Amino acid sequence: MIFSSWGFYGHKSINRLAIYTLPGEMMGFYKANADYISEHAVDPDKRRYAVPEESPRHYLDADRFEQSPPLDTLPKKWQEAVEKFSEDTLKAYGIGPWYLEKMMWRLQDAFAKKDASFILKQSTEIGHYAADLCVPLHATTNYDGQLTNQKGIHGFWESRLPELFADQYDFYVGKAQYLSNIRESIWEVFEESFAARDSVLEIERTLSKNFPEEQRYGFEEKGNGLVKVYSREYSAAFHEALQGMVERRMRRAILLVGSLWYTAWINAGSPDLGMQMEEMPVDTVRLQMERDRVLTREHQ
C-alpha cells in the first residue's frame, strides 16, 4: 500500500479534535502540545518508506480470512492469531487492530512513568493507527479499487472528500469514554469499517456509469504545478451518494482516539499531567526505533 491514509489534512484534524474530548485533568497537557500532536500525526505514513515493517500496521485485509462480518473466526488475541495463521501470513495481510492494542500498552507504560515525551509520541501515533482502522478501504484486499478498475478510490474517499467537505461536518462528538475492554473496542470499530468496504466500492462503481471520464477528473494547482484530481462535481456526487459516511467515520475516529488516550491514562492510575513539559526530539523516527529496542513488553 502506498497511499497516504486519511490524507495529511484528515489525520492532523482528527488528532487535534480528539484533544477536545478529554477531561480537564488531561486537556491542559494535550492542548499545550496540540501542534506537535497534529503535525506529527502523519509520521507513521512518512515512515513507511524507510521502515519495511511499518506498512502492515495501518490495515488488515480481513476479506483474506472472512467474507462478511462478524469476524468471528479471526482470533482477536495476537498470539492466538499467530498460532492459527503464522506471523508471516498476518504481516502479509496487515496487523492493524493487533498493533493498535500493542501501542496502547506502550502509552499506558509512558503514563505510569510520567514520561512526557513518550506520552506525546505514543498518543500521536495511536491517533494515526486508530484513525486508519476507521477507514473501510483499510479492511479489504481491494484497498484502492485495483481489482475492480477503480484505481484511486482510496485517496478519493479518505483524502479528497474530507478536504472538500469537512468544513460542513459536525465534529462535536462528546467526551472521551473509558473503554473497559480495549481489544473488543478496537475490533468493534474495525468491523464497522469491514462491513462498509463493499458499499464504498459499489457506490462509486455505480456512480461512475453516469459520469464520462472527462467529467470525473479535472486539474488543480497544488504546490508548483497542476495535478489531476477528481472533479468537484464528481466529488460532490460521490459524497452525497455516501450519505454522510465519511463524516460518520471521521467522527468515529475522533472519539476513538480520545477514548484510547483517556483509557490508557485511567489504566495507568490517572497520573498528574501538570509535569514539566519536555522538548520533543526532532528525529521522531530515531526516537521510536530506540524506544522499540528497550520497551519489549508485549500484551498477549
Confidence of residue 221 (pLDDT cuts 50, 70, 90): confident
Q: How much is the pLDDT for 50?
A: 86
Region 51-66: mean pLDDT is 96
What contacts 170, CB < 8 A, 6 or more positions away? 247, 251
Confidence of residue 26 (pLDDT cuts 50, 70, 90): very high
Which domains are assigned to the chain? Answer: 7-150+172-196+251-294 (1.10.575)
d(CA 143, CA 136): 9
For the whole model, what pTM was predicted? 0.90
Question: What is the β-pairing status of strands 217-222 and 225-230?
Answer: antiparallel
Please tell me whether residue 142 adopts helix, strand or coil conformation.
coil
In this structure, are residues 121 and 177 in contact, taking their beta carbons and an 8 Å threshold? Answer: no
110 closest CA partner among 204, 29, 48: 29
Assess whether pLDDT exceeds 60 at residue 290: no
